[in-house]
Amino acid sequence: MKMRLFAVLFVAAAAFQGCTYEEGPDFSLRSKVGRLEGRWNNTFLEGGAAPKVGDSVIYTFDKENKGTAVTKTKLFNGTFNVATVDLDWTWGDTKEKISLKQTWGGVNLGTKVYRILRLTNKEMWLENPADVTKKIEFTKID
């Protein structure tokens, strides 16, 4: 009987963690922070295309509301330009939006706010609320 009660409470608690995102998931045992934490490969850029062959944009988020965005751009003959932008991230009031304050070399580059369309253990889709045609897609690296 105790085991059944534990199972019911566990499922109810997990359902409470349920998602409000348009594209899901409908149910997750991990918290939103737990799903966000880690390294993400940017597979579809806000401008509407995939990164060029040889280029990459890797975002990293941690539980302390910090992160980085590392852009690696192929210049020529195997030469790359690498830029790291520091991020301070925060949830919106309902955790349906995420704000990313960007700083590079101590210079504030501004804050972007995105609506979260999907946040699973393996995928994250963001939308620019000012221009809904601008979506960003990520796949989890680790």
pLDDT digits (tens, 9 = 90+) for 16-69: 444 467 666 666 778 899 999 999 999 987 777 777 777 899 999 999 999 999
DSSP letters, the chain, are -HHHHHHHHHHHHHHHT----TT--S--SS-HHHHH-EEEEEEE-TTSSPPPTT-EEEEEE-TTSEEEEEEEEEEETTEEEEEEEEEEEEE-TTSSEEEEEEEETTEEEEEEEEEEEEE-SSEEEEE-TT-TT-EEEEEE--
If you classify domain 2-140 with CATH, what class do you get?
A: mainly beta
Give residue 17's pLDDT.
47
Would you state the pLDDT for residue 12? Answer: 47
Q: What is the pTM of this model?
A: 0.78
User: Domain map of the chain by residue range?
Assistant: 2-140
* Mean pLDDT, rounded, of the chain: 84
